[in-house]
Amino acid sequence: MPQSSSNGARASKSKDGRSTPLWRATFDAFERPVAGASESWLQSQTFMDGLALVLKLQRRANRELRRGLGFWFGTWNLSTGSDVQRLENQIAGLERQVRELRLELERSPGPGHDPVPGPLLASTARRRAPSRNSPNSRNSRDSQDSRESRESRESRDSRDSR
Amino acid sequence: MAPSLLERQLLRFQNGLTYYAGLNRPPIGRTPRDLVWQRDQGKLWRYRSQQRSVSPPVLIVHSLISKSYILDLLPDNSMVGFLADQGLDVFMLDWEPARPADAENTLETYVDQYLPGAVAATLVESGAEEVTLVGYCYGGVLALLLAATRPDQPIRNLVTLTTPCDYSQMGFMSQMFVEGRLDADDVIDETGLVPATVLDQGFQSLKPTDPVVQQVNVWQNLWNDKWLTGFVAMNQWARDQIPFPGAAFRQTVDCLIRGNGLLHGVVPFGPGEARLADITMPYLNVFCRRDEIVPPRAAEPLLGLVGSEDADEICLESGHVGLVAGRQADKVSRPQIAEWICAHSSPATSARPGRSNGRQQTQSRSR
């Protein structure tokens, strides 16, 4: 039964005891069956099969369109979005290689081996710095640095000789 | 006292101007925190607290498909803030939006590289020897795989929040990828990622009439500042999806959706497999009765699949997001989760040295 709410609007009492304006109750009365029906339709096998087919066709059409545009732009020696994309993917590939190299470096046990993977922030890294007497002391770290610089020197020399 | 009809209309007009002009800026993600570790797109945050009295620290692994500020939505509606107030030392492993360089990231990349790194950094930062691992949504899948495949990881307790297990019960989002419909590569773009728009459209499709209902809700509650702030914050998060790495998505489709590996308790992982029965630490599975993204029947089987002798579940009367950020979260879900974690933890015993840059120090205090 509709009642008058505290703010004067026509309202009805909902299950949880709060008053619902009449206009809202009317909207809900229309919306609920529509929502129920649309959700059921959306979950139906027919809809999902149809949607999958439409999405596949749309994707294929986009691909063909892009290929065609790429051909025409290429004829006039103009770059397209696909060219930029290719460059971006190449950069991403390089970044992945750098990550893999970093991982290999971390996994290779050495005198300066850091058991916690990943760059800790300065404050944490400071706390984790090995003590002077530990095997991972400054001398070990220095020896690793010198080894790395020796390796880079050697690779530079070999490149020069080539 | 409720405002009069005239007052409401004035408030409605005033709030309507700012809302429809897009000037509402809810204060999201404001709990003070420090970045303590970072690797690629993975960032580990530690939330500041004056009352860290419980050990081990809690490491929350966030989902790969949404932004983490849902767990710290508003100053008076924050999951991490609540946990920190209970004396827990809260860390969060958050994911920046995936970039093309992340396209080849597999589940193994996350479980074998990022998660162990974050766990190690949590131990270093907190001075603890173990962690309580909490996975939210898809983050729960990662947490389960870590617990199942890495017995060397110092995980004292494992908690999964609305984590899908039986993908055949996941409805529209997973049913679109069953055999014969879409393949993973049908939604992966040229960068190798699943675009955020695809995920957004998928979530929007779950409730087709929601955009209309939301506008009606806004009109009805436009006079209510607090409601409007909460709505804008929640709505912003709901549309704020992030790209998903393509390789991990292929695995999700092949192993989790089509193979339903989690429900069978065995997920192909790396050269071998991950067996949920190998999870032996105390375990809590939390799911929600009104969850439409991860329905209760999709999350419920986890309890029977893990090998833990001390395993519990909590079924709450809320939705997927309501669990962590709803109106009832502060009174119902958060206290129950915090209570279980505290019951499976100990009083913090060791204090770490404080920091000069304003960070908090762990305090030694018996519970």
Q: Are B164 and B287 in contact (CB under 8 A)?
A: no
pLDDT at B334: 92
Give the 3-state secondary structure of residue A119: coil
| Closest residue in chain A to residue B209, using alpha carbons only | A35
CA distance B297 to B111: 26
B9/A138 Cα distance (integer angstroms):
71
Q: How confident is the model at residue B360 (pLDDT cuts 50, 70, 90)?
A: very low
CB contact under 8 A, B182 and A52: yes
Element (H, E) at A143: helix A138-161
- Mean pLDDT computed over A115-127: 45
Residue B39 is predicted with a pLDDT of: 93
Q: Which tokens go with B288?
A: 């929600």
Which residues in chain A are contacts of B182 at CB distance < 8 A? 52, 55-56
How long a stretch of residues is chain A?
Answer: 162
Question: Helix, strand, or coil here: A26?
Answer: helix
Instruction: Pick from A84, A96, A114 the residue to mutate for testing the B interface (most B CBs within 10 Å).
Output: A96
Closest listed residue to residue B51, CA positions, set B82, B89, B77: B89
CB contact under 8 A, A27 and B216: yes
Band of pLDDT at residue B173, cut at 50, 70 and 90: confident
> What stretches of B28-154 adopt beta strand conformation (E)?
33-39, 42-47, 54-55, 58-61, 72-74, 77-78, 90-95, 131-136
Mean pLDDT across chain B: 90
Among A129-133, B24-28, B36-40, B264-268, the least confident range: A129-133
Is-contact B3 B223, C-beta < 8 A? yes
Lowest mean pLDDT among A26-35, B41-50, B314-323: B314-323
- Inter-chain CB proximity B357 and A123 less than 8 Å: yes
Confidence of residue B277 (pLDDT cuts 50, 70, 90): very high
Shortest Cα–Cα distance, A17 to chain B (Å): 16
As given in the structure block, the two tokens for residue B272 are 């071998």
Chain centre to alpha carbon of residue B221: 28
Please determine, for residue B273, whether its predicted confidence score (pLDDT) is greater than 50.
yes
Contacts of A106 in chain B (CB under 8 A): none
Which class for A104: exposed (0-12), middle (13-18), buried (19 or more C-beta within 10 A)?
exposed
Best of B7, B123, B169, B172 to disrupt the A interface by mutation (most A CBs within 10 Å)? B172
CB contact under 8 A, A59 and B212: no
Q: Which residues of B30-51 are buried (b: 16+ CB within 10 A; e: fewer)?
A: ebebbebbbbbbbbbbbbebeb
Of B36, B208, B213, the CB nearest to A39: B208
Tokens of A108: 């290779």
**pLDDT band with cut points at 50, 70 and 90 for residue A136:** very low
Supply the pLDDT for residue A17. 52
Kindly indicate the confidence band of residue B325, based on its pLDDT and cuts at 50, 70 and 90: confident
* CB-closest option in A8, A42, A95 to B5: A8
Shortest Cα distance from B59 to chain A (angstroms)? 16
* A15 Cα to chain B: minimum distance (Å): 16
Tell me: ipTM over 0.90. Answer: no
User: Are B261 and B267 within 8 A, CB to CB?
Assistant: yes
Question: Where is B193: in which H helix or E strand?
Answer: strand B193-194
Locate the chain A residue with the closest alpha carbon to B42: A118
- Spell out the residues 6+ positions from residue B84 whose beta carbon is closer than 8 angstroms to its own: B31, B47, B48, B49, B51, B90
What DSSP state is assigned to residue B184?
A: G
Q: Which of A7, A55, A95 sits opposite B101 (nearest CB)?
A: A95
**Chain B residues whose beta carbon lies within 8 Å of the beta carbon of residue A7:** 2-5, 8
A82-91 long-range contacts (CB < 8 A, ≥24 apart) are A82/B190, A85/B190, A85/B191, A88/B100, A88/B191, A89/B100, A89/B190, A89/B191, A89/B192, A91/B100, A91/B101
B92-135 confidence digits (pLDDT tens) = 999 999 999 999 999 999 999 999 999 999 999 999 999 999 99
CB contact under 8 A, B208 and A38: yes
Q: Look at residue B188 in the predicted model and tell me its pLDDT.
A: 95
Q: What percentage of chain B has pLDDT greater than the value 90?
A: 68
Helix count (H) and strand count (E) of chain A?
A: 5, 3
Query: Residue B92 in contact with residue B31, Cβ under 8 Å?
Result: no
Nearest Cα residue to B45 out of A121, A144, A131: A121
Looking at beta carbons, which residues of chain A come within 8 Å of B186? 52, 55-56, 59
Cβ-defined contact of B213 to A31 (cutoff 8 Å): yes
Contact list, A123 vs chain B (CB under 8 Å)? 355, 357, 359
Cα(B98)–Cα(B320) distance, integer angstroms: 23
Beta-carbon contacts of A6 under 8 Å, excluding residues fewer than 6 positions away, are A19, B2
Over the range B55-82, which residues count as b (16 or more CB within 10 Å of their CB) and which as e? bbbbbbbbbbbbbbbbbbbbeebbbbbb
Q: How far is CA A89 from CA A95, A150, B190, B191, in A?
A: 10, 33, 8, 6
Q: Taking the model in full, what pTM does it have?
A: 0.82
**C-beta of residue A131 within 8 angstroms of C-beta of residue A137:** yes
Inter-helix orientation angle B225-238/B5-20, to 10°: 30
